[in-house]
Amino acid sequence: MLYDFYINLLTMITFLFIMGSIIRHIDFDLSKLERRIFIGVMFGILSIILMLSTIKIVGTSTILDLRNFSIVLASYYGFTVCLITALITIIFRALYYGVNLSALLALCNITATVLVCSYIERRKLSSFKTWVFKAGGAILALLVTISYLLWNVPNKNIVLMYYFLMNFSAAIIIYFFRESIDLSNHKYSKYKAEASVDFLTGLNNVRRFEKLATSLLEDAKKNHEDLCILMIDIDHFKLVNDTYGHSSGDAVLQQLAYILKLNCKQGDIVSRNGGEEFTVLLPRRTPSEAFKIGENIRKSIEDNKFFLLDNKKIKITISIGIAAFPHNAQNLKELLLKADQALYCAKEAGRNKVCYACKLKIND
């Protein structure tokens, strides 16, 4: 019996580590519904494995399994995931063991577990309290069901005691492993986000920019679409730092980043590529559309008053260079070089300008 219990626990713990790794490392190219279906099916498979790995109670003909915990764990991913797991569990239970009184009681037990767990999940309790109420509700529903089935069995109390002790022990062990995995995944997500986000402005950093630009360019080639880039540089930004200090310069960068985001639509990629240089990737935009967006950004910056740390207000301007695939660049290196040359032309033309790279040539 203890060996069977140990195998069940190892199965759940192994599954938790596998699911944690899948969710952490794989970027699903799926919609939210598809993700939920995938996770629900995975927990449904866990439920089936647990039903096939039954634990025989010594001295009785009674067997138990820990399938309810697959539903409890699934509930952390939302009601849809929990419901899918429950449906898979119910259907397999009916097909494998047949439709009888036990199957109907199992249906009631699983339904109660889904409802209790879904209700607790919406209560926004602490992690420990959430698990206690979810696992406690699942164990209570199970004990009520088993009590009814074993009503006339002489050693009913012994069986119930074994059910309770094993489920209670499993709940404690699973809780600590789940917390450890969740903490690890949370730290991983945090460090991953920090590695791709500019710490000062909250925009994409240059590493994230390069990854997104490469991906967008591949999509543009595949779908025969335009991809434009705005390369933006603050005019005379060194003078701001020298005059008002680097802290005030940082405040200017933060406000500029905010204005850039306000002037861009969902799907546009705004990044800080270093120092006072920013970029905006514009998927599926023509050069003329990109030029209009660049002008709107330039005008917004020109009209805005930037607040410094000592409550002083200053005005700044920016220069913008624009390049476009496939009009004047065929790869990312050319796109960046063309945009950089267009930015240089904007600076040479007196700054506070938007320049498009249509007439520029790349010198080998």
- Alpha carbon 35 to chain centroid distance? 11
| Contact between 320 and 291 (Cβ < 8 Å) | no
Distance from C-alpha of 272 to C-alpha of 257, rounded to nearest angstrom: 8
| Annotation says 276 is catalytic | yes
Distance from C-alpha of 218 to C-alpha of 326, rounded to nearest angstrom: 12
Distance from C-alpha of 134 to C-alpha of 115, rounded to nearest angstrom: 10
What SS3 class is residue 228? strand
Measured distance between the N- and C-terminal CA atoms of the chain, rounded to whole angstroms: 76
Distance from C-alpha of 269 to C-alpha of 265, rounded to nearest angstrom: 9
> For the chain, how many helices (H) and strands (E)?
12, 9
| Contact between 73 and 44 (Cβ < 8 Å) | no
Selected catalytic residue, list 179, 194, 218, 276: 276
Q: What are the CA-CA distances from residue 65 to residues 9, 140, 257, 275 (Å)?
A: 10, 15, 55, 60
What stretches of 75-100 show up as alpha helix (H) in DSSP?
A: 79-97
Closest CA to 19 of 42, 53, 49: 42
What's the burial of 312, exposed, middle or buried (CB within 10 Å: 0-12/13-18/19+)? exposed
**Which positions are annotated as active-site residues?**
276
